[in-house]
Structure 1
């Protein structure tokens, strides 16, 4: 009996030891150095973009901060410069490029300005985005177009404008901040979820095509983050939502998410989900048991519709 038990347990013990060793090695695996790397961040004047600027600046990257408001970009530059005063680590005063990502006609010119800052881009972080709250029946097609222009066409246009320079150098890294809603769709988020699903698909295709050039592509899919994303969201008629959702208010700290983005860049991760257990489980449920997932979403839709009808 002892020999039978020993023979059965030994493979399990060995397998457990190998798994433990693998986890230790993954933790100790050195990440890509970011000192002196040129990192471009869109939507860098607030929220997650601003926090990413802070952590990549502290890591010694040469930043190119992008946004629509030149004054707010300069304010971020001043804050970062002040934060690094007196530190021993070598840091750089960030450069800025002002443009509206939703206006794809301006993106090629913006890409030229970005490349003129340091002559290259080592990491592009497509972070800028807009959210949406609304009932499909009450949502204008123009709102769907607006959300797609900012969340999908803008990042695609900027990526494709900068990509040839990376391919020529056989060096670079493309990052996009998507959302857990790029993997699952929930009621009253149609325009936003659609834009993030499109984003996930495009950058998955890009990852496969860039493999031969040695250019990694990282899709980061957070859940709720404590930012003004819901406050600034558009509604079905194009007006601002103007409300801090409870789920958003209870979301992750943007600084913690920025650190996770930094880690993903260093480790050249391919697909990173930063969501609570239930949304993460829903991603698998959508694939493995879609009938149940659809019932749960229909139930959620009914619950959220009730206040409108009373």
Structure 2
């Protein structure tokens, strides 16, 4: 796929993988709509874009505020008159045990990671179907394929996205709509620092595995390659991605292995 002049809406664009995708797509000549909760950070990202800043539109949104998403989606569509690719990169991670994590924190994670992504997609999908073309890109995770300690609700939200968008793909495969599910492993971003604890506070620590993970720009490049090749699902990362295969073929061994692994 040639991304030049493609209209791409990216959530979670103020940091991490979403931010890296902004820079790569801007360099490719795409026309961008960038969204996250932090408008100030979005404008900083826009200023760092090397190509035409007029092709980068800032549209702040909070995925947790469901009642605002319809107007945000309408505004996003009006900016360029269409959207070719929606990249759902917004989300939040977790560090807390099942017993200690409050229901309010669990609901917050599901509202942002799952319902925010689902609701935004359902607002854009009908317009894509009218045009009979469009790409829906969803950032899941390797823990969307298996669970680890201290990530129960985060893992659940990613498992839910996997099932939902697999089902959606079955419904729209012959209608010109592509669905690409991206499953990153350890990518060097601030996702662990920004994670929520069992009671909702910011974790404020860098996970060792994240610190030693794949660079965010390398990850973003692989995501664009996956979109270009229209891959239904892709695992991105290091040896941690092999966990998906190990769990599938050697589930008992995987269970023992994952219990021993340092995850906090």
Equivalent position of 2:7 in the other structure = 38
Bigger proportion of residues as helix: 1
Task: Write the mapping of 1:147-186 to structure 2, written as runs, cut at 5 A.
Answer: 147-186=109-148
Q: Deviations over 1:222-281 (max 9, x none)?
A: 11111110001001111111100111111111011111111111111110101222x222
Equivalent position of 2:48 in the other structure = 79
Equivalent position of 2:30 in the other structure = 61
CA distance in 1, matches of 2:147, 2:263: 15
CA distance in 2, matches of 1:260, 1:223: 12
Equivalent position of 2:257 in the other structure = 296
Is the contact between residue 132 and residue 233 of structure 1 (CA under 8 Å) also seen in structure 2? yes
Is the contact between residue 39 and residue 122 of structure 1 (CA under 8 Å) also seen in structure 2? yes
Q: CA deviation at 1:285?
A: 2.1
CA distance in 1, matches of 2:156, 2:165: 14
Q: CA deviation at 1:92?
A: 4.9
Are residue 249 (structure 1) and residue 211 (structure 2) matched? yes
**RMSD (CA atoms):** 1.5
Is the contact between residue 57 and residue 92 of structure 1 (CA under 8 Å) also seen in structure 2? no
Are residue 137 (structure 1) and residue 99 (structure 2) matched? yes
Task: Write the mapping of 1:1-310 to structure 2, written as runs, cut at 5 A.
Answer: 32-80=1-49, 83-84=50-51, 92-277=54-239, 279-300=240-261
- Name the SS of the counterpart of 1:108 in structure 2: helix
Is the contact between residue 44 and residue 65 of structure 1 (CA under 8 Å) also seen in structure 2? yes
Q: CA deviation at 1:304?
A: 6.7
- Name the SS of the counterpart of 2:94 in structure 1: coil
CA distance in 2, matches of 1:160, 1:304: 34
Is the contact between residue 7 and residue 84 of structure 2 (CA under 8 Å) also seen in structure 1? yes
CA distance in 2, matches of 1:127, 1:231: 17
CA distance in 1, matches of 2:183, 2:263: 24
Unaligned runs of 5+ in 1: 1-31, 86-90, 306-310
Q: CA deviation at 1:71?
A: 2.0
Is the contact between residue 147 and residue 155 of structure 2 (CA under 8 Å) also seen in structure 1? yes
Unaligned runs of 5+ in 2: none
CA distance in 2, matches of 1:183, 1:285: 11
TM-score (norm 2): 0.96
Larger radius of gyration: 1
Is the contact between residue 7 and residue 32 of structure 2 (CA under 8 Å) also seen in structure 1? yes
Residues 228/304 of structure 1: CA separation in 2 closer, same or farther (3 Å cut): closer
TM-score (norm 1): 0.82
Q: CA deviation at 1:177?
A: 1.0
- Name the SS of the counterpart of 2:227 in structure 1: helix
CA distance in 2, matches of 1:263, 1:113: 28
Residues 165/246 of structure 1: CA separation in 2 closer, same or farther (3 Å cut): same
